[in-house]
Amino acid sequence: MTKTDPAVDLAPLTESVVTGLPPEQVRDDRRKNAFRKPVSSLIRHAILIAAALLMLYPVIWMVVSSVRPNDVIFREPGIIFDSFEISNYVDGWNALSYPFNTYLLNSALVVLGSIVGNLVSCSMAAYAFARLDFTGKRFWFAIMLLSIMLPIHVIIVPQYVLFSQLGWVNTFLPLIVPKLLATDAFFIFLMVQFIRGIPRELDEAARIDGAGHPRIFLQIILPLMVPALATVTIFTFIWTWNDFFSQLIYLTKPALYTVPLALNAFQDAQSATDFGEMFAMSVVSLIPIFLIFLFGQRFLIKGIATTGIK
């Protein structure tokens, strides 16, 4: 094993952590590593590229299949671009009751509402759990965790009855309103953990300056937990974008169908499925999440270390 194998030796790990140090020290490191670095980073790139290819094989297979004629997909396995059938994209886009952009837009609406809801309501609840001292805190925290331990399949029927009484079936409300009310308690817990990592001295200093809790929350805590907020955004986006079951149950009008429901409409185990078109539209539906991640990660890695709080 070479010294640079990341699976075995921790040296590169510590190195990469430490290279995140303030600029003057990084410069210091560069000088020290002037000789070792090119070789080491070449090997690391090689390993990472190999790992990335392995990780991406199924994704590549899907992209290749999306430009193959339907009858070839399963008869000829492998991932060689042997044909380029753009028609899967054109036909797939128009294969269902509405053009595919309708479903993309519907999903975007649900996702947007969910993200706003989760960011606002969960961060508020997290602040209370992490920073405030109140009666029955441990009890409520336990309740919060318990609320995410029941599988959705037994919750959905009573919940459907409830929303159906409110006349909310066939609207996006049952999908968005719960998020505005912080029912995705995972995110509260996540943000509690992050807030607890922020030194209390900062709050104290603000308090001495006369700031109340709303100001401490908005002006101290929120800016410092941008990575956590980015994480919540990315996760909410993906979970909502991929969520099939609750969208299936609550949305019955094709005009309101979201991407997972639309993709599902391509297939039926009892009859033929147009896989070429389904894969093509799967690729289309992956693009927004991929872009969100690509650009979102900028905020993800923008932590205290880089915002210069000392």
Partner 1 sequence: MSALGELRRIKGSTPPKQRNQNRAAFLFLLPWFLGLALVTIGPMAASLGLSFTRYNLLSPPRFNGIDNFVRMLEDERLHTSLGVTFQYVFISVPLQLGLALLLAVALDRGLRGLSFYRSAFYLPSLLGASVAIAMLWRQIFGVDGLVNTVLAWFGIEGQGWISNPDTALGTLMVLNVWTFGSPMVIFLAGLRQIPAMYYEAAAVDGASRRQQFWRITMPLLTPIIFFNLILQLIGAFQSFTQAFIVSGGTGGPVDSTLFYTLYLYQRGFANLDMGYASAMAWLLLVIIAAFTAINFWASKYWVFYDDQD
Partner 2 sequence: MRGNLRRRLGVVAAIGAATTLALTACAGNAAPADEAPELELSDEPVTLSFTWWGNDTRHAITEELIAAFEEEHPNITIEPQYTDWAGYWDKLSTSVAAGDIPDIIQMDEKQLSTYAANGVLMDLGGLSSVLSTGDYPAAVLGTGALDGTQYGVPVGINSYTIIANRDLLDQYGVDLPDDETWTWDDFVDTAAEVAEASGGAIAGTQSWGFEDGGLNNWLRQRDSALYTTDGEVAATEEDLESWWEFLLEATKAGATPAPSATIERESGGLAESFTATNQSAFGPWWSNQVQALRDASGQDLVALRVPSTDGASDGWPYYKPSMFWSASSKTEHPAEVATFLDYLANSEDAADLLLAERGVPANERIRDYITPKLDDVNQTVVGFLDDLAPEVGDAPPATPPGGGAIEAIIDQHTQKVLFGELTPDQAATSFLAELQQALDDAAV
Chain residues 34-63 in contact with partner 2, contact rule CB under 8 A = none
Closest alpha carbon to 296 in 236, 254, 217, 251: 236
Q: For partner 2, which is the closer residue by CB, 57 or 74?
A: 74
Q: Is 272 in the site for partner 2 (CB under 8 A)?
A: yes
Distance CA 154, CA 160 (A): 11
- Choose among partner 1, partner 2, none what residue 169 binds, the Cβ cut-off being 5 to 8 Å by kind: partner 2
What's the residue count for the chain?
310
- Within 166-221, residue ranges assigned H as helices are 173-180, 185-196, 200-208, 213-215
Return the beta strands (E) in the chain as ranges.
none
Q: For partner 2, which is the closer residue by CB, 107 or 236?
A: 107
Q: Is 271 in the site for partner 2 (CB under 8 A)?
A: yes
Helix (H) or strand (E) holding 139: helix 137-146
Work out which of 187, 266, 284, 303 binds partner 2, going by CB under 8 A.
Answer: 266
- Choose among partner 1, partner 2, none what residue 217 binds, the Cβ cut-off being 5 to 8 Å by kind: partner 1
Q: Is 81 in the site for partner 2 (CB under 8 A)?
A: no
- Choose among partner 1, partner 2, none what residue 151 binds, the Cβ cut-off being 5 to 8 Å by kind: partner 1
Neighbours of 249 (CB within 10 A): 16
What residue has token string 């190999």? 50
As a whole number of Å, the end-to-end CA separation of the chain is 40
# residues contacting partner 2 (CB under 8 A): 39
What one-letter code names the amino acid at 211?
A
Q: For partner 2, which is the closer residue by CB, 70 or 123?
A: 70
Residues 6+ apart with CB under 8 A from 306: none
Residue 18 has which token pair?
A: 């430490």
Closest alpha carbon to 263 in 246, 280, 251: 280
Residue 239 has which token pair?
A: 């979970």
Work out which of 55, 149, 208, 269 binds partner 2, going by CB under 8 A.
Answer: 269
Q: Is 84 in the site for partner 2 (CB under 8 A)?
A: no
- Choose among partner 2, partner 1, none what residue 96 binds, the Cβ cut-off being 5 to 8 Å by kind: partner 2
Which of the stretches 12-20, 102-110, 263-271, 302-310 binds partner 2 when contact is defined by CB under 8 A? 263-271
Q: Is 254 in the site for partner 2 (CB under 8 A)?
A: yes
Distance CA 249, CA 247 (A): 5
Q: For partner 2, which is the closer residue by CB, 92 or 227?
A: 92
- Give SS3 for 100: helix
Q: For partner 2, which is the closer residue by CB, 117 or 276?
A: 276
Are 222 and 120 a contacting pair, CB within 8 Å? no
Q: Is 264 in the site for partner 2 (CB under 8 A)?
A: yes
Which of the stretches 17-25, 105-113, 220-228, 249-257 binds partner 2 when contact is defined by CB under 8 A? 249-257
Work out which of 43, 47, 124, 169 binds partner 2, going by CB under 8 A.
Answer: 169
Point out which residues bind partner 2 (CB under 8 A). 70-71, 74-75, 95-97, 135-136, 156-158, 160-162, 164-165, 169, 244-245, 248-249, 252-254, 261, 264-275, 277
